[in-house]
Amino acid sequence: MIAAILEWLRSSDTWSGDSGLGARIIEHLWYSLLAVALASLIAIPLGLWVGHTGRARWLVSVANSLRAVPTLGLLFAMALWLGPKIQSDLAFLIPSIIVLVILVIPPILSGVYAGVEAVDPATRDAARGMGMRGLEVVRQVEIPNALPLILSGLRSAFLQVIATATVAAYIGLGGLGRYLIDGIKTGDYVSTAGGAVVVSVLALLVDGLLALVQRAVVSPGLTVDSTRASRTRSRRRGMSAVDAEVASNGEPSRSEPVLPETNRRIPS
C-alpha cells in the first residue's frame, strides 16, 4: 500500500487538470483561510473585550462547548436549512464555511482571552499611569504581551480547520476531501489514503510555517516570561517544575534548574 501511495503521489496524472492534486490543495487552503479569517473577525475582538474588561467570561465557556458539536451532523443540518434558500453555487459553500467558522472560533477566542487575561495587572496600571486610555492599553500593552497565546490559538485553529475541511466534500465541494469521499465510494483506497496523507502533511507544513512566524514576531522575553509564569502557576497547583515546563513548552528546561522546595536557582 505504501508503494502504491508513493506512486500515486508521483504520478503526473494525479497533479494535472482542474481536479488534480494541486488544484485540490489550493481549494482546501482557500476554504481553511476563509474560515479562519471570518472566525478571527469574530473571536479576536470578542476575546480582547472579555479579557480586557473581565465581563461575560461565560462566552468563552459557551464557545468551548461548541467543540462537542458533531461537525458532520451540523454540516448536513446547515446544508438542508440554508441550501434551498440560496439559488447559486454558494448554496454549498456558505453552509460549509459557517460550520468551519463555528469549529475554529473556540481556539482563537480562548487564546486571545487567555493571553489578555494573563497580562500582569501591574503592567496595565503602569500604562494607565502614563496616561494611556482603554484602547491604547489594549493596543500597545495587552496585545503585544498576549501575542504568544494569540498566535498559539491561531495555530490550533489552522490545524483543526485543515484537518476538518475535508467534510466540505460531503455536500459537493472540492478540496482534498474529494479524494477521501470519492475514493471510498469507488473503492480506490490508494487515492483515499493518499488524500489523507496529503491533508496531514499540509496541516504540519502550515503549522510549521506559523511557528516560524510566531518565533519571528514574538519577543523572546515574552516567551521566557510566559514560561516562567506557567511554571509558577503550575507549582502552586502541586505540579513539579519539570511537569510545569512540559505543560508550557512541550519539553523540560535544562538551562534553568530550579530547586523544587526552596524556589532558589542553582548558582551558575
pLDDT digits (tens, 9 = 90+) for 6-64: 888 888 888 888 888 999 999 999 999 999 999 999 999 999 999 888 888 899 989 88
241-249 and 220-236 helices, crossing angle to 10°: 130
User: 258: which DSSP letter?
Assistant: B
Extents of the domains making up the chain: 2-218
Cell output for 194? 493518499
C-alpha span between 157 and 39 (Å, rounded): 9
User: Model confidence over 202-229: pLDDT tens digits?
Assistant: 999 999 999 999 888 887 766 545 545 4
C-alpha cell at 107: 481556539
Which triple of cell numbers denotes residue 236? Answer: 502552586
Q: For the chain, how long is the longest CA-to-CA vector?
A: 72
Contact 35, 165 (CB under 8 A): yes
Grouping H, G, I as helix, E, B as strand and the rest as coil, residue 211 is: helix
Neighbours of 230 (CB within 10 A): 17
In whole angstroms, how large is the CA radius of gyration of the chain?
22
Distance (Å, whole) CA 7 – CA 21: 14
Residue for grid cell 456558505: 94
Distance, CA of 66 to CA of 109 (rounded, Å): 12
Q: What is the CATH number of domain 2-218?
A: 1.10.3720.10
> What pLDDT band is residue 253 in, cutting at 50, 70 and 90?
very low
Specify the pTM.
Answer: 0.78
**Cα(14)–Cα(33) distance, rounded to whole angstroms?**
24
